[in-house]
Each structure stands twice: as C-alpha cells, then as structure tokens.
Amino acid sequence: MTRYSISLLTAICSLFLVAAPVASAQDVKTHPATQVVFQYLKHATSQEWKESVVLLDADSVLDLMRRYVYRIKQAPTIDDEIAMVRKLNQTSLSAVEKMDPVDFYIAYHKGVQERFEVTDEILEQIKTTMRAKPLSLGLETIDGLEYAHVLVRTRHQNRDKEVSSLDLVSLVNLKGSWKVTLLAGRPIIKEIKK
C-alpha cells in the first residue's frame, strides 16, 4: 500500500467515525434527560429559582448549602461573613445553617442575581430569545445509578448582545425520574482492593 492509499483509507475511516454520532442526534433531542435539561436551563436563565430547584436532586441542593456555610465559616473577616449571611436575607450563620435546603437555594440565587442589574424588560428578552441545542449525550452507570451527561449550546439576547455558552449538564436517574445533579463532575475516589 502506498502512502496515498493509507492516507485515503484513514480519511474515509475518519469520516465514518465523525458521522456516527450524527445518526443518534435525534436520540439526544428526545431523551428524557435532555428534556429535563431544557426545562432546567430555561428556568435558571429566566431566574425562576422555585421552578429550577425542583429539577435538581436533593443531595446537590444540600451540598451547595453545606459548601456555602463552610465558605461563611472560612470568611477572612467578620464583615465578609456578615455580607455572605445577608446575601441570603438572614441575620446570622446559625440562621443560615437552619434553613431548609430548598429555601437556601432560592435565597442563594436571588442574592447572586442582585449583583447584576437585570430589569424585568431584560429578563423578558432573555426568556423569549433563549435557545438550547443539544450536541451530545453520554450515559453511564456508577455504583448502580444511571447518569446522563448532556452537552448543550445555549443562546439568548441580553440588551444589545447575544450570549452563547457551552454547558455540560449532568443528571441522575432517581427512581425513574431524571434530576440535574451538581455532584457528577467531582472526582470519584475509591480504595484499591489488594
């Protein structure tokens, strides 16, 4: 075989490898996990926190709260601690620790959104122009739990700009219901059996 023949054969094989995922693009769009991703991104982008939190798994919400409490405790100054507590519309660290995780999630995101000047008019523009295109779907099972990882290109308008981002959203199947998980991207560390 000549170099030209090998190069041609390699190019043809590459075309088949590249084209293979395109055949399952419809599966990506219609998979139940992808539908949850669409809902979650719509609510999160529209700052509809009560609607988005129900699409998250409870462990992720609790973990977000625990990490925020840890950050408050590690604040370099008392002023930083007070600012972090007030961002949640609370009066003390102990009040934050006693919050219901769902209420924490809503207050946390409202506190974050207050930093940005998003008027009702801009929010409406974001809602009406929000588009999400699923690019790929990866499925795996870890410790008996089924996970889906959906890569999505989102676009929306904000004032005179179009904002486009690439998002990887992971979900876990809990008793037949797909829930967004914030924990799937973390390293999994297990003891090696000798």
What pLDDT score does 116 carry?
78
Task: Please tell me whether residues 30 and 59 are part of one structural domain.
Answer: no
Q: Which of 91, 117, 143 is the last residue of a domain?
A: 117
Task: Please tell me whether residues 100 and 66 are part of one structural domain.
Answer: yes
User: DSSP state, 76?
Assistant: S
Task: Please tell me whether residues 79 and 61 are part of one structural domain.
Answer: yes
pLDDT in tens, 110-159: 888 877 777 888 888 988 999 999 999 999 999 899 999 999 999 999 88
CA-to-CA separations, 99 to 11, 22, 78, 87, 115, in angstroms, rounded: 58, 46, 21, 14, 22
Task: Please tell me whether residues 141 and 166 are part of one structural domain.
Answer: yes
Assigned domain for 156 exists: yes
Task: Please tell me whether residues 86 and 72 are part of one structural domain.
Answer: yes
What pLDDT score does 122 carry?
86
Task: Please tell me whether residues 102 and 134 are part of one structural domain.
Answer: no
Task: Please tell me whether residues 90 and 59 are part of one structural domain.
Answer: yes
| 123 exposure class (CB count in 10 Å sphere: 0-12, 13-18, 19+) | middle
Assigned domain for 192 exists: no
CA distance 9 to 13: 6
Q: What angle in degrees, to the nearest 10, is found between the helix axes of 120-129 and 32-45?
A: 160
Task: Please tell me whether residues 162 and 113 are part of one structural domain.
Answer: no
CA distance 100 to 44: 20
Assigned domain for 4 exists: no
The secondary structure of 159-194 as a DSSP string is: TTEEEEEEEEEEEEEETTEEEE-SSTTSPP--PPP-
Instruction: Indicate the pTM of the whole model.
Output: 0.79
What pLDDT score does 23 carry?
31
pLDDT tens string, the chain, 194 residues long: the values are 444 433 433 433 333 333 333 335 568 989 999 999 999 999 998 889 999 999 999 999 999 999 999 999 999 999 999 999 999 999 999 999 999 999 999 999 988 887 777 788 888 898 899 999 999 999 999 989 999 999 999 999 988 999 999 999 999 999 999 999 999 988 888 899 88
Total count of domains within the chain: 2
Assigned domain for 139 exists: yes
Residue ranges making up the domain that contains 164? 26-45+128-183
Assigned domain for 6 exists: no
Task: Please tell me whether residues 61 and 106 are part of one structural domain.
Answer: yes
Assigned domain for 9 exists: no
